[in-house]
Amino acid sequence: MPSFDAPPTAPRGMLPHQSTYSPPNTGINGLQTRPRAVLPHQSTFNPPNAGINAPTTATLPQRPRAVSSVPSNVSTSSIADSTHNPHYRAQSIPADSGYISAHGSHDPHGGNGINAAHSFQTLSVEDEANDARARARDFAGNRFNGQRNGQRSGRGSSHNIQRNQPQSVVRESRGAYDRGSYNRNDPAVGFDNRMDGRAHDMRRHRDGGAQDQRNNRGNRGDHSRDSRGNNNLAPRAVGVDVELPEQSSNAVNGKILKLPTRTSENNSCYSRITVFTNHFEVQSLPCIDIFQYDIRVTGDPRRSGGYLDESEIKQCSPSMVRKVMENPEIKSILGNGFVFDGVSIGWSTEKLPFPVDPFRYRLELPGSRPGRKFGCNIDISCTGKLSTDPFIKWLRNESCRTTSLDDVADFSKEEQIEICLKFLNALLRADPAKRFMSGHGNKSTAYFHRTPETTSGLTSSNRVLEAWRGFYQNIAVRFGKLTVNVDTITAAFIKPGIIFLDAICGLANINVLQPGDVYHADPQRLREIMRKFIGVGFQVKHIQEGPKKDLVRRVMRLTQHGASRETFSKRRFDKDPVTGEETVTMETISVEDYYRQQYNIILRFPQLPMVVCRKEGKYPLELCYVADGERWTEALKGKHTSDFTKFATAPPCVRKDQIAENVKVIGWNKQRVLKEFGVSVNPAFMQVEANVLKPVIPIYQTGTEYQGLKVPGRWNLGFKTFCKAQSVTQWGLMYFPGAPRTRRSDNELKRLTRMCCTEFRKYGLQMPPGPTITSVCDPQGDISRHILELLLKIQTQTKARPNLLVFLLECEQKDLYAQIKRICDTKLGIASQCMLANSAIKDDRDKSAGQYFGNIAMKVNIKLGGINALIEDPILNGRPTLVIGCEASYPNPSQLRLVPPPPAFVALSANYDLHCAQFSAVTDSQDPLDQKIVHFSPMAQELFTRYKKQTSREPERVIYFRDGLSEGGYGSELRTELEELKKLTNAPITVVLCIKRHHTRFFPGPGENGDRMGNIFPGTVVENGNGKDIFLVAHIALKGTVRPTRYVAVYDDNKLSAGQFQELCHNLCYGYGRATMAVSMVPPVYYARLACERARLHMENNVKLDDGSPGMSTLPQTHRNIQYSMWWQ
């Protein structure tokens, strides 16, 4: 693994055995170099000031700072001129000379203003790279293939860019930048805030940019003020100390990105504060021509009857493409300034000197066997120039408009915008991908580095699984700015180097001492865990030489039998003792015998299944070692989750320091590729303006806290009665005992039923008189029969049908819980409530018992159709309003590999009363690969029918909250669902997108401490550019750093103002039925999410969904008796 500290780098073109060399024409015997990838038939370019045709540049004004003396053997005029020559490349100054240019240190690869000590370090290059470069220079004479054969696959057409794009954005002058929103001269602002003018092109310097720069240095005033006279916010470095250079490190190839500062659109908020966010502003974008290339890597066609079959040409896999692009030969051809997006697009600051376009290069890599070669063709074609001017114009328009359904994450009409975002993300990935272990695929935005400080073994898994802490980095348009989002992330990995068999036994809690220990274990449980290793990469150690020695293989499937029974055909070479002729015969041999004869390995567990890899290679579990960086794709459960959460969660102050440390490790100001392309990022946390909304007061029948909540976002249930308390006609208790020593006595069960009746009546629930009927049943028996017997017993003794059944469990049993809910929800139509014995059976004097039964009473009341509390909101209570929440739950990646995969579940929930307090839900299952909700229209129609039936009115306003979509792909789905809603009603519709899966975090601003956990206060709203695209923190985080929820009104026929929209989302979070605190997501979406999980339990073979068996094709619906209740609680 590479270390966090990047290896020292040298100027492009320097080899390990070479010393630093001087620029040409300096008067010393320095090396004369030619530009990158110059072909033999091409001439080298003229060095600076070499002739009358050499490009002329203006001289930058001298920086007023102390500089070291120039060595006598270096020509200062040549150095100064080369600093401004955009064609000057691959020239260096001795790093130990102590020389700093009078115009700021220069980068020989593009004239970047950086420190000389950072620019001219030594590059670690393998010795064989010398031969690779030599071959790359000589390949042109005999390896040009001309045009590629056959028609291209069409991939490149989607990336074509018009050549010679008009410059639609005028580069701003230095004086215009001086009227920015913060003071760049303040040393606490951060290094990228003090621009020195080098980010502009040379014409700006000749036309007055130099004079602006001199005038700018004289400005040492306070923070700039906007047109209203308000002090604007200056991003400041916070958290751990970040080493910042003394001056800005903007490249001469970049231009300053100046976007207008947005102001809040909500003028009716409770108060306004300033908060920090983990976004870092991009301050300059490229101002040079960027050449875009389409790259296609294909393998050699297969041979059929001794001839090449051109129809068998296939695109190489992403891992092979990454291996090819990292080859020294390809790097020499493309140059160090080439950036690849990991799939098919690349960018360069110079036009690659290929004689033909498209150009094909033939590359041969070592094959899987000695003496064999893997041949591939790299087709490179220039698709045009990429200009950032249209992108900057789009950014300026984005900062002045609201988000609509037509343009939300949909750049199909603006292809250049999408390409620019891909380009910027590729730039950000270029350096971290070399130093850290990336996540999934070539385009991952997550990076990890396994160290003792960033790794923790999960004890509940016997340390087979480990939690790795890394960082997330991605380009984003947030808060009216172009930013880089950096966050701390944690993921589960399999311990590198552990044997497959040890890992499986560790997860199954089997202590392997003898082979019999495995044989006597639960074979079903072992095979379930073995299936979880499908797709995991591994290595073997019995192969000691050859290309396969370090090969990482990947599990495709498991064998049905062990090595003792699995056989294959092997060629046997014999020599005739008389004639001496060699004969070849085929023999059948078992895998166990093969390893004994070939490698002298005696397998200890020949009866266990083996893993099967590509090309049907079979390997015993005891010989497979987990490769480095293998993610655990299964969902963590039980104690694994708690162990993982303890390591992953961190208080806000700690998380903020971790992010600051990640920014320091990333080191944007030290990345050569960013400087060469002219991109600079401010390493200081952004400061943004936030609104704080007034806490909502929930209204109860009695005990409402009209004077205000003592703690915002939280209140006490004591001495309160529910707004609409329901009646329990009859009820029964069923007890499932555990081990004999933990069996509860009859007296304990009687005390439990007595406490239920007493505590429920405190909150207004009406309980029947007389003793409660109880039943003790075997949890391993027929659960359906036991419940029917209890139901019949209650009806016989009380002459009434019960509407509530309470189940007492000794411990959490998922299978038993699923059976109870499936029977009561779909077959009997009776509300059910499960309780744990350790929590429910307590002494009457235990104060925690009252809180526990209060929580149970809230759940029971809404399951029976009651209302616990009401929320006052002018939008919800003004006109009849239907609030709909939607959630779609899809299988995890490991489940999608199953054949067939389990289904996806969707749920819609909506209120059926005029107070938006009583909700019902409908659920459905569908194909897991279908991103659209197939039966959306009939599901929504059912909710409209229930609303009209209960209120006798049509809704006059519809608000639709949609969850389950990522930030990047929700245009078509939302558009389809909106069209279906319009067919069902004539009422105005507002469509709100809810996004919880993001990496934006907020921290208290300067001088603020936050709540007792250090988080920002509940009710904080940060506008993401406009008042109806917001990040809302409505809840209190019980542990860790609070995560805001993003709400985006992408369609609004109701014409809500910014204040109305923010208060609507905030007030709804106080109306969650079973809690005495605000929740992080609006309840309609929260209810739909819980209904999805309950629908998963309703599948008859739900237990097999997690171990690989396919799910049912149809989903049983809930019983009509409980349709108008929150049965999913």
* Domain extents in the chain: 1-125, 139-159+290-386, 497-627, 731-863, 874-1006+1014-1114
Side-chain half-sphere exposure of 166, counting CA atoms within 13 A: 2
CATH topology of 497-627 equal to that of 874-1006+1014-1114? no
Mapped onto helix, strand or coil, the DSSP state of residue 452 is: coil
**126 CB-near residues (< 8 Å, 6+ apart):** 328
Sequence-separated contacts (24+) of 697-702 with Cβ below 8 Å: 697/872, 698/869, 698/870, 698/871, 698/1070, 698/1071, 699/723, 699/869, 699/870, 699/871, 699/872, 700/868, 700/869, 701/725, 701/764
Tokens linked to 785: 């029969």
d(CA 281, CA 478): 9
- C-alpha R_g of the chain: 34
Report the greatest alpha carbon distance in the chain: 111
The 8-class DSSP code of residue 1029 comes to E
- Tokens at residue 717, please? 């249930």
Best CA proximity match to 975, nearest among 410, 553, 473: 410
Cβ contact 1090:1128 at 8 Å: yes
End-to-end CA distance of the chain: 47
Task: Specify whether the CB–CB gap between 957 and 991 falls below 8 A.
Answer: no
For 681, residues 6+ apart whose C-beta sits below 8 A from its C-beta are 192, 280, 281, 282, 283, 484, 668, 669, 674
CA 882 to chain centre: 33
CA distance 794 to 798: 6
**CATH, range 874-1006+1014-1114:** 3.30.420.10
Q: Which residues of the chain have pLDDT under 50?
A: 1-130, 132-251, 304-308, 311, 408-413, 1102-1112
Tell me, what's the pLDDT at 812? 86
d(CA 263, CA 274): 12
CATH homologous superfamily of 731-863 equals: Response regulator (3.40.50.2300)
Question: Cα–Cα–Cα angle for 785, 791, 794, nearest 5°?
Answer: 140
User: Which pLDDT belongs to residue 203?
Assistant: 38
Taking the alpha carbons of 596, 601, 606, 610 in that order, is the dihedral positive or negative?
Answer: negative
Half-sphere exposure of 1038 (CA within 13 A, CB side): 7
Q: Is 447 helix (H, G, I), strand (E, B) or coil?
A: strand
Do the beta carbons of residue 501 and residue 621 sit within 8 Å? yes
Retrieve residue 534's tokens.
């499908």
Helix (H, G, I), strand (E, B) or coil at 714: strand
The pTM assigned to this predicted structure is 0.76
What does the block give as tokens for 1034? Answer: 């409505």
> What single string gives the DSSP state of each residue in 205-265?
IIIIIHHHHHHHHT---S--B-TT-PBPP--B--SS-----SS----TTEEE---PPP--S
Query: CB of 686 within 8 A of CB of 259?
Result: no
Q: In what order do the strands lie in the sheet with 1029-1033?
A: 919-926, 904-911, 881-889, 957-962, 989-995, 1045-1052, 1029-1033, 1020-1026, 686-692, 271-277, 1002-1004
What would the two tokens of residue 637 be? Answer: 């459960």
At residue 340, φ and ψ (nearest 5 deg) are -115, 140
Contacts with 412 (C-beta within 8 Å, 6 or more apart), sequence order: none
Measured CA to CA, the distance from residue 995 to residue 3 in angstroms comes to: 35
Closest C-alpha among 766, 687, 680, 754 to residue 722: 766
| Residue 257 backbone dihedrals phi, psi, to 5 degrees | -95, 110
Residues 822 and 1097: beta-carbon distance below 8 Å: yes
Peptide bond into 1083 cis (omega under 30): no
Long-range contact pairs involving 1096-1104 (C-beta distance under 8 Å, separation at least 24): 1096/889, 1096/905, 1097/817, 1097/818, 1097/821, 1097/822, 1098/821, 1098/822, 1098/825, 1098/826, 1098/923, 1099/925, 1100/822, 1102/818, 1102/822, 1103/814, 1103/815, 1103/818
- The pLDDT, as a whole number, for residue 573 is 79
CA atoms within 13 A of residue 164's CA, in its CB half-sphere = 0
- Which contiguous run of DSSP H or E holds residue 774? strand 773-776
Helix (H, G, I), strand (E, B) or coil at 1008: coil
Three-state SS string over 849-871 comes to HHHHHHHHHHHHHHHCCCECCEC
642 contacts: CB under 8 Å, gap ≥ 6: 460
Could you confirm whether domain 497-627 is CATH 2.170.260.10? yes
Q: Which amino acid is at 875?
A: I
Gap between the Cα atoms of 674 and 667, Å rounded: 10
Q: Using an 8 Å Cβ cutoff, are 279 and 483 in contact?
A: yes
Q: Which residues pair with 1001 in a beta bridge?
A: none
Which runs of consecutive H residues, i.e. helices, occur in 777-917? 783-798, 814-822, 837-840, 847-863, 874-878, 893-896
C-alpha torsion sign, points 758, 762, 763, 769? positive
Torsion of CA 632, 635, 640, 644, to 10 degrees: 70
The helices-and-strands tally (H runs, E runs) of the chain is 30, 38
**Cα 786 to Cα 734: distance, rounded to the nearest angstrom:** 9
How many other CB atoms are found less than 10 A from the CB of residue 1092?
25
